[in-house]
Structure 1
């Protein structure tokens, strides 16, 4: 029988040991990598779920409606209707809108012009006498102070940008039909009434008629952008012809007492 030299056997044994060492080294490296990945994954999960401080993560707030959100016509009426008042000055009727927490009402000057007896009826049915606290015939605006307020006073939100083509809503008491709502668009800006006494007006086509004057012109967010003051009346019969005007709210708020004759054109 042929013998294997001892030197050859020793060499083979050493090679086998070296091979096993290499396998162990590779296997150990793989285990280290896997362990690191597991630790990283656990850390990432823990940090993501607890914010890294051991406490529960704060809930992410959901989106809520903002004043800039566009409302439906029904929502506009629901929002602003409680701010609208019916005004009776002598035998004439008009509209007003609560403009402050103290119940001050903004209306058109010609609605209360020369009237000795002015009363208001609020949306909840509360009736009260009122006095004219300021008036500006040049802008056709006036403010009233009622002697009694409703249990809950709901001032309208005044202001808002105006642009041609934007939708508008008018709330008023046309022909004595209280709390009527009509819709339309801004037809033009910086208009002058037919008689020339009122300028810088908003032109709109929402239907208004006698009794609507002094009421709010609203944008799609329910903001008061103007006070309704007049209509175009080519037929001379005070009938709505699709053209109406409102004093921009900025101009309406800009005046205290004024002088000069009020407009003699067709006013509502």
Structure 2
């Protein structure tokens, strides 16, 4: 998924209610809070050193250089390819960033990845892949193909939970993304451009990484090569444990550019558990978009430590607007504590607050502290999309409209034979499109409509049909599922 640089947008703010003139002498509480803020430099340094020391202590136990052969072999059986027909690619990716328009192989057909984490057919993939799709097909490593239902989606984290009618399936081994350190070797598996179970490797660039102006969702930044079709696939460490779900790339072209992002598996599994239990994810918010206050930004706001959440946008008619929060405010802490909090901790306090609750925010504005009371609202959950009900029909020629080309002696300059003039239904879902040349049905060559009709009529409706197609310089077979099963799937 492509992530274009975040664009600045307009936003509405409202001034704080009028306050008495500032007295020359601050209250003791204000002095105490200011002292705590001034002491944040030491706290920030200690926090960063604590994380660095934890990674240093873990490093000797990690092998020098990663061998992903065994790890990839263990995970491959649980990695699936996902084919989506319909609109799909709707919504935002993890962190609130827009998805790529290039993940699809054509206007109405997309290819993505996923992985089985429960033996009873539960699969994790990206929400932007399946949201709005009319049909979803899952192909397992042993070449079985299933229709999938969407149990639930969460667009904020870009997680979708699918289920297929199968049991006793191979599953991935789930690790802990919180233990990943920058420099650690990781590998991705997926179907870039439709090439199933492709493995690419690299190192962790940063963990966690937050998108400026995003939704506060933590991400794992790596230099692993991800391309359209990798969305939803697993990111695993050199022990073969899944530590993330591949979500998006940062690229101006839609192709690999050296910066990739995966959703931490800790977050993905929490969302999956809630989707399995209720079919939806509910969370609280105050209506303020934020980014972490970095060491580079902190001096601009009169702070010494890279702690707190910097507000970049306040939503109209939100609790944050009602409380008077505005862009440029730095939320240092939530609750009664005067000590500043890391960005992730502030996010967790807000997300876990119940609807109707009121939070006390310690805010830094124009190099001075203040306390703001803000209400908490609840985000509307994403509901699992329902496929469009289609009337039961009997397809003619799998939905293909074919034309006969007579060759150089006729009106066409193309080679003689059958060409696709339009594709719908099963043919469209299989990826056929205008201009494809059709050479054979299974192992029977066809060059006319009469030959094509005779060939498909000789095949039982319970059998898969293989069509040999030429597209440009590429030649290959495309599978059309059994006609009997298609009609059953069309029934509401």
How far apart are the structure 1 equivalents of 2:139 and 2:171?
Answer: 15
Whether contact under 8 Å (2:207, 2:220) holds in the other structure is yes
Deviating runs (4+, > 4 A) in structure 1?
A: 68-71
Which piece of structure 1 moves more, 120-129 or 248-257?
248-257
2:234 aligned with 1:239, yes or no? no
TM superposition shift of 1:82: 0.3
2:92 aligned with 1:76, yes or no? no
Whether contact under 8 Å (1:135, 1:143) holds in the other structure is yes
Partner of 1:174: 192
Structure 1 residues 232 and 131: alpha-carbon distance in aligned structure 2, compared to 1, 3 A threshold:
same
Q: Could you say which structure has the larger radius of gyration?
A: 1
TM superposition shift of 1:260: 6.8
Partner of 2:266: 250
How far apart are the structure 1 equivalents of 2:216 and 2:381?
Answer: 12
Q: 1:155 aligns with which of 163, 171, 176?
A: 171
CA displacement, residues 108-129 of structure 1 (integer Å, 9 cap, x when unaligned) = 1111111120010000101000
TM-score by length of 2: 0.37
Whether contact under 8 Å (1:94, 1:212) holds in the other structure is yes
How far apart are the structure 1 equivalents of 2:124 and 2:204?
Answer: 21
CA displacement, residues 236-262 of structure 1 (integer Å, 9 cap, x when unaligned) = x2111100001101111112324578x
Whether contact under 8 Å (1:138, 1:260) holds in the other structure is no
How far apart are the structure 1 equivalents of 2:191 and 2:381?
Answer: 28
Whether contact under 8 Å (1:138, 1:198) holds in the other structure is no
Partner of 1:85: 80
TM-score by length of 1: 0.67
CA displacement, residues 155-199 of structure 1 (integer Å, 9 cap, x when unaligned) = 001123211110001000001111110000000012134772463
2:161 aligned with 1:146, yes or no? no
Partner of 2:241: 223
How far apart are the structure 2 equivalents of 1:198 and 1:86?
Answer: 29
Structure 1 residues 194 and 207: alpha-carbon distance in aligned structure 2, compared to 1, 3 A threshold:
farther
Structure 1 residues 175 and 204: alpha-carbon distance in aligned structure 2, compared to 1, 3 A threshold:
same
Whether contact under 8 Å (1:164, 1:188) holds in the other structure is yes
Structure 1 residues 155 and 69: alpha-carbon distance in aligned structure 2, compared to 1, 3 A threshold:
farther
Whether contact under 8 Å (1:134, 1:143) holds in the other structure is yes
RMSD between aligned residues: 2.0
Whether contact under 8 Å (1:190, 1:199) holds in the other structure is no
Structure 1 residues 253 and 225: alpha-carbon distance in aligned structure 2, compared to 1, 3 A threshold:
same
- How many residue pairs get aligned? The number is 190
CA displacement, residues 69-127 of structure 1 (integer Å, 9 cap, x when unaligned) = 86721111111000100001111111000101212111111111111200100001010
Partner of 1:47: none
How far apart are the structure 2 equivalents of 1:195 and 1:118?
Answer: 32
Structure 1 residues 69 and 100: alpha-carbon distance in aligned structure 2, compared to 1, 3 A threshold:
farther
Q: 2:141 aligns with which of 115, 123, 126?
A: 123
Higher relative contact order (CA 8 A, sep 6+): 1
CA displacement, residues 191-218 of structure 1 (integer Å, 9 cap, x when unaligned) = 1347724631000111010000000000
Partner of 1:19: none
Which segments of 5 or more consecutive residues in structure 1 lack a partner in the other structure? 1-67, 262-268
Q: 1:100 aligns with which of 114, 118, 135?
A: 118
Partner of 2:218: 200
Q: How does 1:104-115 map to 2 (within 5 A)?
A: 104-115=122-133
